[in-house]
Structure 1
Amino acid sequence: MAAPNRAAAVSHVGKIRSNNQDSGYAGHDLFVVADGMGGHAGGDVASAIAVNRIREADREYQTASEAEFALQSALIAANSLLAETVFEHPELTGMGTTVSALIRVGDQIALAHIGDSRIYLFRDGELKQVSIDHTFVQRLVDSGRITEEEAMVHPRRSVLMRVLGDVDASPEIDTWILDTQPGDRWLICSDGLSGVVKNDDLKAALASRDAPRQVAEKLVRQSLDAGAPDNVTVVLLDIADVGPGDVMKDPVTVGSASAPLSFGGDQKPTSRTTRLPTLRLHPIRPATGPTHFEPQSEDYLDELIEEDQRRVRRRKITWLVGVIVLVVAIALAALLGYQWTQSRYFVGASPAGNVAVYQGVQQNLGPITLSHVYEESSTPVDTLPSYDKQLVEQTINADSLSAARSIVEQLSDVSGK
């Protein structure tokens, strides 16, 4: 007999969004997270519709394969319902949602996934992401064009290639079956968590022996501490041998799906009147937030890849131009500085031991000499009185060439040469 379930679901609007477009569900054997897209145009409606439809699949199954098929069918049905809703409410055009879900059947888990919400498995101290993001940057990572680290900061990291919505009547949904065992901890979350909290912090939180509710709340707090730019939803499932009092008794729905959602039955299918009386339909305005959807066509992918390459080339050119400008500025400053030094004069001893006029300054710049003999007199330094000889050897500054020549003449007179 399979170990009983312990589970929890927590959702938070975050620190920037004005409404919660996430929905989550932790049931008897079904666990779901949906992250709505479309901003104020209906992301909250999309995730709520999807979760409300998918949670109808929360029942017992004889095999994991049966549960896998039921999950896939539920997601397809939710997709059709979203398309119907957009037809009846044009103001919701463009809404969609990601979905990550799993059903436990004995010692196996049936999973379904579309979008960039994530499913993780924490087992024996190791954290593994078992779902694959359906995003543009993930395609770039898979093809070796960029690294995982570059994907984290890529400007198109939120471009989704697959979602449920009114775009594709037959969306491609990932489904698969995995074995599970007592001690496993399954995490389903929206990108409000995975896009903000680092894997090491996720791993540390999941390693705690606290109850699922406490761990889920801790994960949400970590996202809030990091700024929480998006809604964050966490559904946690523990597979462990526990007492009956520790097992979740009633299903829990969080986020947008926790608000009642009903459709009037007296209206015609093509009615344009509101049939979602208990869920606010926001005014038409541009979508807000980073998440958006683009169709998964080869032409579009090629266009995005080419645009990304152009961006990289522009960045390289910008850096190159910046380096060139910096080098030119340094060279120009050096040239102007050298020209200034050559406008200065002083009197000193020449290599031959005579009093001479030098052009430049006494200091040197490393191996570069900033002065040279401009005029050399016939007066030996050794013929000068001790005091004058010391002054010449230490050099005498002059305000101009004429002033330097006057100093040399005075020294010649003193030496008697």
Structure 2
Amino acid sequence: MVFEGSSAAISHTGKVRSNNQDSGYSGANLFVVADGMGGHAGGDVASSIAIHRLEPLDQPYTSVEDAQASLQAAATTAAGDLIRAAKDRPELAGLGTTLSAIIMVDDYAVIGHIGDSRIYLYRDDAVTQITADHTFVQRLVDSGRITPEEARYHPRRSVLMRVLSDMDADPELDMFVMHTQPGDRWLLCSDGLSGVVDEAHILKAMRMGMAPGRTADNLLKQALDGGAPDNVTIVLVEVGGQHAMHSGTATIVGSASNPANITVPPVRAPRGNWLHPVRQAANEPSHFEPAPEYLEELIEEDRRRAKRRRLGWIAGMLVVVAMLVFAAFAAYSWTQTRYFVGADEDSVVIYQGVQQNIGPITLSTPLRDTDILLANLPPYQRDSVERTITARSFSDAEAIVTRLQAGADRVIGETPLPTPLPTETPTEDAG
């Protein structure tokens, strides 16, 4: 049974790299993305070999088991092709490629995956990453040592732990089968897209409901707008849905779209790299597959990085705390240059500080009790003292107290003294 749906494939060199090491394939039943590795030339050859080795799989299958067996066999054969290519052309030693493929069989998607290219599924207004990256940083994420967000910017995010290469004649692909349903959209992409455009923006593009070709163009534009430091390859497959099925002609993009006899460009000595560091990076491998003994070194390096990160965080917190303490001390010192005249329970007091408090912290202290009773002040002065009177300095506060004393003296002078009670004269008892 031929898959019923529409699809599109697109590949771009990106804004930094000088050649395209990615390849993509979109056919009637087969959909593949391969991201080559191996420097200036090897990646081109590796991804192209993988695509052309899988191309014959684009046919109807009677069962998912047949499709799985064919996919695994083709990947193993491709690995053998890479080994022979490296032997015949020593300049290609170390070449390899990621591989993410889907074979549609009736209502099922047969998936094979190795490396860090990805397959996403858009269903029920949500985007889900279906494949797991075979990278060093993904192991750190799986073990809980770093977060997925930290993995996006980890300096070792390009270190691949599993890949289709000239160093393994029996590659271990993740193989599984998933049920599909009308309206599903499967996105296969190299890390040139997933490393720049996050899932939230992929979801936004999918929600627009455009045909696969226009959706792929939209995602590519986002990657280019984000700098596109690596090659970008996108294969988008829509199951059923509103868009008509495309022609049965397969679409091959990237390095695999070139003639089979790929010319290996000579490696030129870099010129002016101190002026153009980005151009130097353009010819460096986008991925690296480590030797087994290198893993322990990477883990130890990551431990050192984690320790430095913790120390840096602690040092930063100490600096922030020190700044806050200094600011609080400076602010408190400033408050102690201020004065005001207020009241305690029954008398006028000169205070040092400001009238405001910060929670339980009092920003003022009594400096001198003037012994002027509030009861002896005129009502308007008593009210002002109870609301506090701000002074510019201690001498200004004393001047305010002098005026208050004068007011109190006037009140005392205007108040008539109480009439003394008459003194009784003792009398003698009669008799």
Q: What secondary structure does 1:131 align onto?
A: coil
Against the structure 1 CA distance between its residues 290 and 200, is the aligned structure 2 distance closer, same or farther, given a 3 Å change threshold?
A: farther
Against the structure 1 CA distance between its residues 64 and 250, is the aligned structure 2 distance closer, same or farther, given a 3 Å change threshold?
A: same
> Which residue does the alignment assign to 1:175?
175
Q: Is the aligned partner of 1:303 residue 2:313?
A: no
Q: How does 1:1-12 map to 2 (within 5 A)?
A: 4-12=4-12
Against the structure 1 CA distance between its residues 334 and 280, is the aligned structure 2 distance closer, same or farther, given a 3 Å change threshold?
A: same
Against the structure 1 CA distance between its residues 241 and 198, is the aligned structure 2 distance closer, same or farther, given a 3 Å change threshold?
A: closer
Matched to 2:147, the amino acid is T
Q: What secondary structure does 1:188 align onto?
A: strand
Q: Is the aligned partner of 1:292 residue 2:284?
A: no
Give the greater-gyration-radius structure (CA).
2
Distance in 2, matches of 1:228 and 1:127, equals 22
Deviation for aligned residue 1:3: 5.9
Deviation for aligned residue 1:151: 1.6
> Which residue does the alignment assign to 1:257?
256
Which has the larger displacement, 320-329 or 129-138? Answer: 320-329
Distance in 2, matches of 1:52 and 1:143, equals 36
> Which consecutive residues of structure 2, in runs of 5 or more, have no partner in the other structure?
271-279, 330-357, 359-431
Against the structure 1 CA distance between its residues 132 and 326, is the aligned structure 2 distance closer, same or farther, given a 3 Å change threshold?
A: closer
Which has the larger displacement, 309-318 or 218-227? Answer: 309-318
Distance in 2, matches of 1:304 and 1:66, equals 39
Q: Is the aligned partner of 1:105 residue 2:99?
A: no
**Partner deviation per Cα, 1:324-350 (whole Å, 9 max, x = no partner):** 678789999999xxxxxxxxxxxxxxx
> Which residue does the alignment assign to 1:127?
127
Q: Is the aligned partner of 1:315 residue 2:309?
A: yes
**Partner deviation per Cα, 1:191-244 (whole Å, 9 max, x = no partner):** 11111111111112122332211111111111111111111110011111678x
Against the structure 1 CA distance between its residues 252 and 334, is the aligned structure 2 distance closer, same or farther, given a 3 Å change threshold?
A: closer
Q: How does 1:15-164 map to 2 (within 5 A)?
A: 15-164=15-164
Against the structure 1 CA distance between its residues 283 and 81, is the aligned structure 2 distance closer, same or farther, given a 3 Å change threshold?
A: farther
Q: How does 1:391-406 map to 2 (within 5 A)?
A: none
**Partner deviation per Cα, 1:364-416 (whole Å, 9 max, x = no partner):** xx9xxxxxxxxxxxxxxxxxxxxxxxxxxxxxxxxxxxxxxxxxxxxxxxxxx
Deviation for aligned residue 1:305: 2.4
Structure 2 length-normalised TM = 0.70
**Partner deviation per Cα, 1:141-189 (whole Å, 9 max, x = no partner):** 1112222222222222221111111122222111111111221111100
> Which residue does the alignment assign to 2:214?
214
CA contact 2:111–2:176 (8 Å) conserved in 1: yes
Against the structure 1 CA distance between its residues 189 and 330, is the aligned structure 2 distance closer, same or farther, given a 3 Å change threshold?
A: closer
Against the structure 1 CA distance between its residues 322 and 211, is the aligned structure 2 distance closer, same or farther, given a 3 Å change threshold?
A: closer
CA contact 2:75–2:171 (8 Å) conserved in 1: no
> Which residue does the alignment assign to 1:412?
none
Against the structure 1 CA distance between its residues 209 and 248, is the aligned structure 2 distance closer, same or farther, given a 3 Å change threshold?
A: farther
Distance in 2, matches of 1:59 and 1:323, equals 61
**Partner deviation per Cα, 1:301-359 (whole Å, 9 max, x = no partner):** 44322221111112222444566678789999999xxxxxxxxxxxxxxxxxxxxxxxx
> Which consecutive residues of structure 1, in runs of 5 or more, have no partner in the other structure?
263-275, 336-365, 367-417
Deviation for aligned residue 1:113: 0.4
**Partner deviation per Cα, 1:32-85 (whole Å, 9 max, x = no partner):** 000111231421121111111111222222111101111111111111111111
Deviation for aligned residue 1:282: 4.5
CA contact 2:3–2:105 (8 Å) conserved in 1: no
**What is the percentage of aligned positions where both structures have the same residue?**
53
Against the structure 1 CA distance between its residues 23 and 284, is the aligned structure 2 distance closer, same or farther, given a 3 Å change threshold?
A: farther
Instruction: Kindly tell me the number of residue pairs found equivalent between the two proteins.
Output: 398
Q: Is the aligned partner of 1:190 residue 2:184?
A: no
Against the structure 1 CA distance between its residues 316 and 87, is the aligned structure 2 distance closer, same or farther, given a 3 Å change threshold?
A: same
CA contact 2:2–2:59 (8 Å) conserved in 1: no
Q: How does 1:242-391 map to 2 (within 5 A)?
A: 246-262=245-261, 276-277=262-263, 280=265, 282=267, 288=282, 289=284, 291-295=286-290, 297=292, 300-321=294-315
CA contact 1:162–1:293 (8 Å) conserved in 2: no
Against the structure 1 CA distance between its residues 308 and 213, is the aligned structure 2 distance closer, same or farther, given a 3 Å change threshold?
A: same
CA contact 2:140–2:146 (8 Å) conserved in 1: yes
Deviation for aligned residue 1:18: 0.9
Deviation for aligned residue 1:101: 0.5
Deviation for aligned residue 1:7: 1.0
Matched to 2:133, the amino acid is D
Against the structure 1 CA distance between its residues 60 and 280, is the aligned structure 2 distance closer, same or farther, given a 3 Å change threshold?
A: farther
Matched to 1:250, the amino acid is T
Against the structure 1 CA distance between its residues 173 and 146, is the aligned structure 2 distance closer, same or farther, given a 3 Å change threshold?
A: same
